[in-house]
Amino acid sequence: MKHPKIIEYDENINFKQMVLDEGVLVIRNYPKKIEEKNCLFVSRNLLKGEGLNMYDNTKTLKWNENNGGLPVVRKISKTYFLHEMKVPWHSEVSVSSDVLISALYGLTNVNMGNTFFCNTTKLLKNYFNNDIDYLKSVKMKVNNKVILGSPSLEFGWGWHLPCNFNKISKLDSIISPLLIHSITKEYYLRLDCLHIIEILEDNTGLFSKCVDELQSFSGSFNSNFSNEYISQLKWNDTDIAIWDNSKMIHCRPKINIPDESDRELLQCIIFYSD
Ligand SMILES: [Fe+2]
């Protein structure tokens, strides 16, 4: 089982470049050099984002009252978000013209649910042998809205945003799995299984096989596929995980949080436009 790269906080590190290279990074923030109240600082300064634009799709702005400005931080907890159900593979926003980097700060009991990451850039290179012509021929039928558990959790993972590759909008339900990274200009793969209803025009079946591998992943590293492409973040409170949603998809197995406790994280998503 692989673990995402762990680093210590150092204000001189160019985190943005490192995240673009690695896909996902974990800052083992112990002893606590970055306080939770400085989570916005993590997002604004560590990532050195130009033209930051945060779309707060949950309107959980409480955490931002004293900070103001963009991006915003939302608190993920029992009160606000999924506390026991399984969260399937996804990227934070599915259709976007921008690159999105997530910064997630572990507040309390984060070890109750570890996060798995799959490196889709590596899949493109090794699993699909960079066969762009083949991948261009594949189409996916997708959900344009996601409702998980309760209508209050309906947030659609950003289907309001136009896509940079084939100019789709939220109204299009047949899309390509290929996108172009707005910073590196390289191809990347959209593999957020949460949205895929049906795979079309897959003449070799390889893409469908890949989606099957992902969908059948149960959290154990018992296949060549999981060993090669998936890593598991074992959370500690105060850890900060940062990842490029173009290169990595993530999921979390089903967890059970006792009524008397909570598992809380702070999330900040940063958009980088062209
Ligand atoms: Fe997520």
Using alpha carbons, select from 51, 48, 49, 53 the residue that is nearest to residue 14: 48
* Structural tokens at position 100: 């999105």
CA 267 / ligand 1 centre spacing (Å): 9
Per-residue pLDDT for 180 more than 60?
yes
pTM of the model: 0.85
pLDDT value, residue 205: 97
Answer for the pair 218, 253: CB distance below 8 angstroms, yes or no: yes
Banded model confidence at residue 61, pLDDT cuts 50, 70, 90:
very low
Ligand 1 centroid – CA 203 distance (Å): 31
pLDDT at 139 over 90: yes
CB atoms within 10 A of CB 58: 15
Question: If you measure from the C-alpha of residue 87 to the centroid of ligand 1, how many angstroms do you get, rounded to a whole number?
Answer: 8
Neighbours of 17 (CB within 10 A): 12
Least confident of 39-48, 60-69, 88-97, 264-273: 60-69
Average pLDDT over residues 267-274: 68
256 token code pair: 């059970």
Q: Half-sphere exposure (CA, 13 Å, Cβ side) for 196?
A: 24
Instruction: State the DSSP code for 158.
Output: G
Alpha carbon of 43 to ligand 1 centroid (Å): 16
Render pLDDT for 208-244 as a digit per residue (tens, 0 to 9): 999 999 999 989 999 999 999 999 999 999 999 999 9
Domain hosting residue 68, numbered range: 5-272
Give the Å distance between the CA of 246 and the centre of ligand 1.
13
Q: Kindly give the distance from the C-alpha atom of residue 252 to the centroid of ligand 1, in angstroms, as a whole number.
A: 8
Burial of 38 (0-12, 13-18, 19+ CB in 10 A): middle
Buried b (16+ CB within 10 A) or exposed e, 91-100: bbbbbbbbbb
Report the separation in Å between the CA atom of 226 and the middle of ligand 1, taken as the mean of its atom positions: 19
Q: Residue 234 Cα, ligand 1 centroid: separation in angstroms?
A: 15
User: Closest Cα to residue 56, out of 167, 155, 145?
Assistant: 155
Ligand 1 center–CA 67 separation, angstroms: 23
Q: How many domains does the chain have?
A: 1
CATH assignment of the domain containing 137: 3.60.130.10
